[in-house]
Amino acid sequence: MINKSQVLTFVPTNNQQPPLKSNQKHGFHVKNLDVTPSPSSDSSSILMYKTRHNTPYTRYSLSLLLFFRLLKPHHKTQQKKNISVNVKEEFFFNTESLDMKKAEFTLDSVRDSLIRQEDTIVFCLIERAKYPLNSPAYNQSYVSIPGFSGSSLVEYIVKQTETLQATAGRYENPEEHAFFPDNLPRSLVPSYNYSQVLHTAANSININKMIWDMYCNQLLPLFVAEGNDGNYASTASSDLDCLQALSRRIHYGKFVAEVKFRDAPRDYEPAIRAKDRDALMKLLTFEKVEETVRRRVEKKAMVFGQEVNLDNDNSKGKYKVDPSVVSRLYVEWVMPLTKLVQVEYLLRRLD
């Protein structure tokens, strides 16, 4: 009989795996499955399984057969008894978080993360664009919630979510920054050993007030329809997703600056000592990269935001979020604010 402590280990079946790309990682996660065991299954059942695209199908099918045999009750009258089995499954993924890349902190790996974050930002904007502006959600006199006087519904939802997420450890991660950081509760979860690549002065940099102002007062009216459909809570929740994605991207400038400084400390040190913001801005700016980013996010807005249907494609040119607005968002706000974070970080780098 299988007992609770048994683990079905899915292991690679050969060594001829294609090399991982630089932004891919390889690992295992453990899934907990409820199965009804067969008494004939012996305790040494180990299934061979391979998740990569070069899976040998014969081995794969055999594995599945074995697996389903384990799931099959052996006798009709047998009382169904669910047993928890841990399945360790090999997986591959593109890492978005820098922490998954502990071993390779390079300008390329940091830029890979920024590229992946573009997807998140574009999808968040698409989700927000489902709703019209819904201006009451931003109006501080529309709601009067005990303990939150003077807060709009969006502020209320952001504050409450941040409070909850702080207890779950969100702000222990150096990549995360709260919009209302004062008086947040302590994390209640075991601490994770995040890689400490940043200078401690990084903790003093939080430009979320500027991001909030840019998002609510300048960006929103550019990509949502005017009007009001009453979905204020969902709207506020979508806003929170957008704000968090933008904040994470922009504050990622700290990591970009750190890696640039490490690559060329002698170039940066004189400008840092002279507190010369303009010189720092010049040193850290790569116009060609910015142009590539601008074109790529515009294209992502076209690809992710197009209507998909199976008939003749008559939806060309219709996008859920105007691609030129996404390009403008990056050129006017996201990239300049990311560079501002870089300058602020570098100015403190030798403290």
The residue among 110 and 158 lying less far from ligand ISJ, judged by its C-beta, is 110
The residue among 243 and 293 lying less far from ligand ISJ, judged by its C-beta, is 293
What are the residues whose beta carbons fall under 8 Å from the beta carbon of 125, sequence distance 6 or more?
A: 223, 242, 301, 321, 326, 329
The residue among 156 and 333 lying less far from ligand ISJ, judged by its C-beta, is 333
Min. distance of Cβ 321 from ligand ISJ in angstroms? 19
How far is residue 351's CA from residue 347's CA, in Å, rounded to a whole number? 8
Nearest to 257 by CA among 74, 124, 114: 114
Binding site for ligand ISJ (CB under 6 A): 111, 114, 256, 284-286, 289-290, 293, 335, 338-339
How far is residue 67's CA from residue 72's CA, in Å, rounded to a whole number? 9
Inter-residue contact 252 to 96 (CB < 8 Å)? no
Inter-residue contact 214 to 299 (CB < 8 Å)? no
How far is residue 86's CA from residue 266's CA, in Å, rounded to a whole number? 52
Min. distance of Cβ 181 from ligand ISJ in angstroms? 23
The residue among 192 and 286 lying less far from ligand ISJ, judged by its C-beta, is 286
Min. distance of Cβ 340 from ligand ISJ in angstroms? 10
Min. distance of Cβ 256 from ligand ISJ in angstroms? 4
How far is residue 232's CA from residue 238's CA, in Å, rounded to a whole number? 10
Min. distance of Cβ 328 from ligand ISJ in angstroms? 14
Q: Is 228 left (phi over 0), alpha (psi -120 to 50) or beta?
A: beta
The residue among 138 and 255 lying less far from ligand ISJ, judged by its C-beta, is 255
174 is written with which tokens? 């150096």
